[in-house]
Homo-oligomer: A and B are copies of this chain.
């Protein structure tokens, strides 16, 4: 038999374990032209929360009582397709199933010699690509500028900060525990860190950590941390709106201070970014990231949860900030 995780309910507010449903199905058989895949690593990501809503967005919502999906690294365990050999590994958007068939459409092969398999869900996958391509397209980082990053110990944020250091910036990270702050500074080379959970006045804390103001703010969280960043932004500052995890579980549109006055006065750029729009640039970006990885110029952290049955809990833990770096589930 084959284990599957389906969407049981569309959550209101914070998702719960009972929004997911485990079920069993027959072991799938690959038809002519198909391959049989066994999941090895499954990625859980904050953006999946959006797909649990029944609203139009940049990617179709999950269907009720149908399998969830995310990016997955899988091994080819049977092949009826000449493009794939048994024992090869692939990476792509796949269902939360232990076993599944595929025609190979949309899948990329991954080289387990170049980097550990789980890296293809993180630093060499969508999160690393998000950091690299968005900075390249939007931030226009200049040596000596101050780069402020929220979600800084996370998969995207930690890569953003390291690229900032490569570009010669002063890099300040915001995260939710002193342990994460140490990780940022000791492992990822951030210059300074702010623990937003133990800080009462974020605006003052940002001002103190960024004495020359904020030139680029990389926003993974939105909400009051965005407000604090904008209240310290420099003339011609840039904000990359990569995520807004602080708002994802809100039922009503959250209210906050209006930013348009600052945007005009400081001629600030804010630009929303979705890595999916930039698939054509993935090749060269992965090459650059892999090179930096091999040269030891960047590194990564991951939180590996073990076991197919723990995927839903690993997803829920993202919203409690329980991960350090990329959260993946090893099957």
Residues of A within 8 A of B (CB): 50, 57-58, 219, 222-223, 226, 235-236, 241-244, 247, 253-274, 277
Please, which residues of chain B bring their CB within 8 A of the CB of A261?
A: 222, 244, 247, 253
Residues in B with CB closer than 8 Å to A247 are: 258, 260-261
Contacts of A257 in B (CB 8 A): 253-256
Q: List 24 A-B contacts (CB under 8 A).
A: A50-B265, A58-B265, A219-B260, A223-B258, A223-B260, A241-B260, A244-B260, A244-B261, A247-B260, A247-B261, A255-B257, A255-B258, A256-B256, A256-B257, A259-B259, A262-B272, A263-B270, A267-B273, A267-B274, A268-B272, A269-B269, A269-B271, A269-B272, A270-B270
Additional A-B contacts beyond A223-B260, A226-B260, A270-B270 (12; CB < 8 A): A222-B258, A236-B277, A241-B260, A241-B263, A255-B255, A256-B258, A259-B259, A266-B272, A267-B273, A267-B274, A268-B272, A269-B270
Task: Say whether A265 contacts B57, CB under 8 Å.
Answer: yes
From known contacts A269-B269, A272-B269, infer whether A258 and B254 are also in contact, taking CB-CB under 8 Å: yes
Tell whether, in the assembled complex, residue A267 and residue B272 are in contact, meaning their CB atoms are under 8 Å apart: yes
Q: Are A242 and B264 in contact (CB under 8 A)?
A: yes
Residues of A contacting B: mostly: mixed
- Give A192 to B51 CA distance when docked, in angstroms: 35
A-B interface, 10 closest residue pairs, ranked by CB to CB distance from nearest: A263-B272, A222-B260, A241-B263, A267-B272, A270-B270, A253-B257, A264-B272, A244-B260, A256-B258, A254-B258
Instruction: Report the minimal beta-carbon distance from A129 to chain B, rounded to whole angstroms.
Output: 15
Q: Which residues of B contact A241 (CB under 8 A)?
A: 260, 263-264
Complex CA gap A75/B242 in Å reads: 53
Please name all residues of chain B whose beta carbon is closer than 8 Å to the beta carbon of A270 when the two chains form the complex: 263, 269-271
Q: Is the CB of A264 within 8 A of B269?
A: no
**A265 and B272 form a contact (CB under 8 A):** yes
B residues near A271, Cβ cutoff 8 Å? 263, 267-270
Q: Are A264 and B235 in contact (CB under 8 A)?
A: no
From A241, A262, A264, residue with most partner B Cβ within 10 Å: A264
Which B residues are CB-close (under 8 A) to A268? Answer: 271-272
Q: Are B58 and A235 in contact (CB under 8 A)?
A: yes
Docked pose: A12 CA to B136 CA in angstroms = 43
| Cβ–Cβ < 8 Å partners of A259 in chain B | 259
Q: Chain B residues near A226 (CB, 8 Å)?
A: 260
Could you tell me the distance between the alpha carbons of A253 and B259 in the complex, rounded to whole angstroms?
A: 9
Kindly list chain B residues whose C-beta atoms are within 8 Å of the C-beta of A267.
58, 271-274, 277
Per the bound structure, the CA–CA distance linking A50 and B277 in Å amounts to 39
Give every chain B residue within 8 A of A258 (Cβ-Cβ).
222-223, 244, 247, 253-256
Please, which residue of chain B has its CB at the minimum distance from the CB of A255? B255
Contacts of A262 in B (CB 8 A): 272
**Residues on the B chain within 8 Å of A57, using CB:** 265
Known interface pairs A257-B253, A258-B222, A258-B247; A274-B263 also in contact (CB < 8 Å): no
